[in-house]
Structures are given as structure tokens and as C-alpha cells.
Structure 1
Amino acid sequence: MAWLMLIAAGCCEMFGVAMIGKLHRDRNWQAIALLVLGFGGSFLLLSLAMESLPMGTAYAVWTGIGASGGAILGMVLYGEARDLRRIICIVVILGAAVGLKMVG
């Protein structure tokens, strides 16, 4: 269950990052509320996951999901470069997160 909460926390982190982009485009209260909701949910779920997962592993996986997800959202939603080297780096980040799960 802790791993599902951690994955959900990473997804909320990705949502929060997407809402930062929305806030830059649409300076309104809905964008701010969604940003706070995304990051608030992310921190809440991360803290719940850390009750049974090691802090270092949980934080690394959460950060990996957020960083790689943010990069993917940037490519899909905001037209950022889809260079092969960027995609390889995203795969490495996700592979490292999976590796932490396997050894921990």
C-alpha cells in the first residue's frame, strides 16, 4: 500500500508541476487552487508512504517520478524538445527508481 501511495504522490507532484505552467498562462485563482491541491496531496501522500518505507528510498522514488513526469509533461503539453538524449535520461531516472525498489 505504501508503494501505491508513493506512486500517487509522484503523480500529484506531476500535476502540481503542470499547474505551475497553467498558472503562468492563466493567472487566476483556479490555477492557484489546483497548484496547492497538487503539491499538498503530493506531500501528504509522501509522508504517509514514509511511515513504512525508508526515507531515502521514498524521497528518491518520489523525486524521480516528479522529475521524469515533469519532463514528459513539458514535452507533451508545452512543446519542449523531444531529443533522444532527454528520453534516455528519463528512462535512466525511472530505471533507478525501479532499482531502488528492487534492492530495498
Structure 2
Amino acid sequence: MAWICLFIAGILEVIWAFAMKKSLGFTLVTPTIITIVTMIASFGLLSVAMKTLPLGTAYTIWTGIGAIGAFILGIAVLGESVTLTRIIAALLIISGIITMKLAGPH
């Protein structure tokens, strides 16, 4: 159950980061509300996952899901650049997430 909570928390992190970008510095009401609600839910689910999972594992995977998700969303939806360096960096983050999952409690 902790891994499911952690995964959903990571997805919510991607949503709140995207909504924050779309809020234009919290000047638009709907994206601002989405940011706040999904941020609270993401933190709440992260805290539930941390009841069972080690801090380093949970936090690293949560931020990794958020980073990779935001990277992909930025490219796919916002037209952000795709460079070899950015792709290599993303692959390194993914390898770190996989390694943390393999090293952590199952």
C-alpha cells in the first residue's frame, strides 16, 4: 500500500507543478486552486508512504517521479526543448529511482 500511495503522490506532484506553471505566478484562480489541492494531497500521501518506507527511499522516488513527469510534460505539452544532455539527465534520474526501489523494502 505504501508504494501505491507513493506513486500517486508522485503523479500529484507532476500535476501541481504543471498547474503552478499555468497559474502564471498564482495570478489565475483555477490553476492556483489545482496547485494547492494537489500539493496538499501529494504531501499527505507522501506522509502515509513514509510511515512504512525509509525517508531516503520515499523522498527520492517521490521527487524523481515529479522530476521525470514534469520533464515529459514540459516537452509534450509546453514544447520545451529536447536535448541530448536533458535526455541523459532524465535517464540518470530514472536509473536512480529504479535503484532506490530495488534497494528499498519490498
Q: TM-score, normalised by structure 1?
A: 0.92
Number of the residue aligned with 1:57: 57
Q: CA RMSD in A?
A: 1.5
Q: Unpaired segments of 5 or more residues in structure 1?
A: none
SS of the equivalent of 2:24 reads helix
SS of the equivalent of 2:18 reads helix
Number of the residue aligned with 1:31: 31
AA of the residue aligned to 2:39:
F
Deviations along 1:16-75, one digit per CA (max 9) or x if unpaired, are 010012101883221111000111111001000000000111001111111111111111
SS of the equivalent of 1:16 reads helix
Moved over 4 A (4+): none
Partners of 1:25 and 1:46 in 2: CA distance: 25
Identity, in percent, stands at 38
Of Structure 1 and Structure 2, the greater helix share is in 1
Number of the residue aligned with 2:80: 80
Matched, 1:45 2:63: no
62-71 or 24-33, larger mean C-alpha shift: 24-33
Partners of 1:38 and 1:69 in 2: CA distance: 15
